[in-house]
Homo-oligomer: A and B are copies of this chain.
Amino acid sequence: KAGPVLLNQASVPGRRGYLPPVSDLTTPEEELIPSAFRRTAPLNLPELSEMDVTRHFTQLSQRSFGVDQGFYPLGSCTMKYNPKLLEDLASLPGFRDLHPLQDESNVQGALRLIYEAERIFATITGMDAFTLQPAAGAHGELTGLLIMKAALRDRGELEREIILIPDSAHGTNPASAALAGFRVQKIPSSAAGIIEPEDLKPYLSPQVAGLMLTNPNTLGLFEEKILTITQMIHDIGGQVYYDGANLNAIMGWARPGDMGFDLVHLNLHKTFATPHGGGGPGSGPLGVKAHLAPYLPVPRVVSTPAGFKWSYDAPRTIGKVKGFWGHFAVIIKALAYIYSLGFDGLKQASSDAVLAANYLQTLLKEDYNLPYDRHCMHEFVLSGLKENPAGVRTMDLAKSLLDYGIHPPTVYFPLIVAEALMIEPTESVTLDLLDSFVAVMKELAEQAKTTPEKLKEAPYTTPVRRLNEAEAARHPVLKW
């Protein structure tokens, strides 16, 4: 069945979808706006009834797939279940209809919530202070790196322009470092998939501003030598940045602050169950140790005897990284999730996520290459099929999964693993679900031997089949 036509093609002149409230004044437009500023061409917006709009977007939704639709083991993205409670709370009128510039006396509950969220994030990560301003993980990284830069400027050490980043790191790490004006030096992972202090040593120099690390890393392996590593960086005067994308592996088990990290960002939309919304909004609060707290963005919420206040009293702040105070509605959701689980629940969530990953790893390594064969944390990376006479590629496996109603794992990442399949089941699984996933993966391994051509043409049952991405990039059509 064809999808809905584009909005502009469905438009019929004169149709209305919503009658907005209108002013009871009738001053002519011409008296209000000089002609030089008035629009000359008609507005090219679709004209649709409420029913048309409802059916259009309902159909679009029916051609989309989220966590509520099925298994989504997308490595590095932590697609856990999003409790519906969180939506209800974020849409309480007392939060939803609050203007960011209302007087502090009007918004004590909102300020309290921010204050409490900062406190609880600090507790979970072992950091001293948090800002909720960053809009997403990458934005948290940028904020952290700008703080590092500002601190270097204060210390007169702007010659420190290198950020060390492992070859297994998320792409945002080097991109953020570059955006903050640093140079990136790639650090090789060892054969065991982690950073060896010995391998790190050659890169240590007075030019090093710091190291960015994900722990567990993108191979799903805990950096066991982390205390040595952070010590080494500190010893040469550098800062260590924790990319929080993988925090779901260790909540309640370990805290970045205790590992020696100086900066940490959280991905609330990964770790704390706020919905991803098809790619956002996320939220990437940044936590720092005390020595970097003066650099955090302003304003900060402070608790005073007269209630909560915004404070701009921070002479060394890097300023603002975003309009207003962060993704408040997302923060509400994350905090509610944390309260719902409590410490024991968070710890159990990590434990379940790790257990589920190991369960899958144990069963899938029979048919798929597992380059780093040891217990993993919350995710693991396979490297294509063990028996693969016809050269079935990871992309073929991914597309084949679609026909089973399963969202494929992350593919071709991390870059250091050939034909990578990065699988993160999260704690939002049942044993049945895991077993059915294993069964499908084994079936695909079998088909790779018997009917590989079938895999290479998958998917078959989706609204469209494999799309020509090269053509899209060569001749970009980006609007109707």
Residue of chain B at shortest CB distance from A340: B19
Q: What residues of B have a CB within 8 angstroms of the CB of A58 in the complex? A: 68-69
CA distance A67 to B51 in the complex (A): 9
Q: How far is the CB of A362 from chain B (nearest CB, A)?
A: 21
User: Judging by beta carbons under 8 Å apart, are A430 and B55 in contact?
Assistant: no
How many whole Å from A428's CB to the nearest CB in chain B?
Answer: 5
Q: Chain B residues with Cβ under 8 A from A12's Cβ? A: 430-432
A317 at the interface (CB under 8 A from B): no
> In the assembly, what is the distance between CA of A67 and CA of B49, in Å?
14
Q: Are B84 and A51 in contact (CB under 8 A)?
A: no
Question: Could you tell me which residues of chain A, from 394 to 432, have a CB within 8 Å of some CB in chain B?
Answer: 405, 428, 430-432
Q: A205 on the interface (CB 8 Å rule)?
A: no
Q: A12-B430, A430-B49 are in contact. Are A54 and B1 (CB under 8 A)?
A: no
The answer, yes or no, to whether A35 is at the interface (CB within 8 Å) is no
Complex: A68 Cα to B49 Cα, angstroms? 13
On whether the beta carbons of B55 and A70 are closer than 8 Å, the reply is yes
Chain A, range 69-95, C-beta contacts under 8 Å to B: 69-70, 81, 83-84
What are the residues of chain B within 8 A of A50 when measuring CB–CB? 81, 83-84
CB atoms of A81 and B430 under 8 A apart: no
Interface bin, chain A: 20 to 34
Shortest beta-carbon distance, A370 to chain B, in Å? 28
Identical copies in the complex = 2
Minimum distance in angstroms from A123 CB to a CB of chain B: 23
Q: Which residues on the B side are within 8 Å of A405 (C-beta)?
A: 1
- With A and B bound together, what is the CA distance between A337 and B480 in angstroms? 35
Query: Which residues A35-80 have CB closer than 8 A to chain B?
Result: 49-52, 54-55, 58-59, 62, 67-70
B83 touches A55 (CB 8 A): no
> In the complex the two chains form, what is the Cα distance from A10 to B432 in whole Å?
9
Question: Do A84 and B54 form a contact, CB below 8 Å, given A62-B62, A405-B1?
Answer: yes
| A54 / chain B contacts, CB cutoff of 8 Å | 68, 81, 84
In the complex, which residues of chain B have a beta carbon less than 8 angstroms from the beta carbon of A84?
A: 50, 54
**Given A1-B405, A69-B58, CB of A430 within 8 Å of CB of B83:** no
What's the least CB distance linking A372 to chain B, in Å? 30
Closest to A18 in B: B85
Kindly state the separation between the CA atoms of A54 and B50 in the bound complex, as whole angstroms: 27
Contacts of A52 in B (CB 8 A): 430
With A12-B430, A68-B58, A69-B58 known as contacts, the answer to whether A51 contacts B1 (CB < 8 A) is no
Q: B81 contacts A68, CB within 8 Å?
A: no
Q: Which residues of B contact A83 (CB under 8 A)?
A: 50
Chain B residues within 8 Å of A1, by CB: 405, 461
Q: Which 5 A-B pairs have the closest CB atoms?
A: A51-B81, A58-B68, A54-B68, A51-B428, A50-B83
| Contacts from A to B (Cβ < 8 Å) | 1, 10, 12, 15, 49-52, 54-55, 58-59, 62, 67-70, 81, 83-84, 405, 428, 430-432, 461
What are 12 A-B residue pairs whose CB atoms fall within 8 Å in the complex? A1-B461, A12-B430, A12-B432, A50-B81, A50-B83, A51-B67, A51-B81, A52-B430, A54-B81, A54-B84, A58-B68, A58-B69
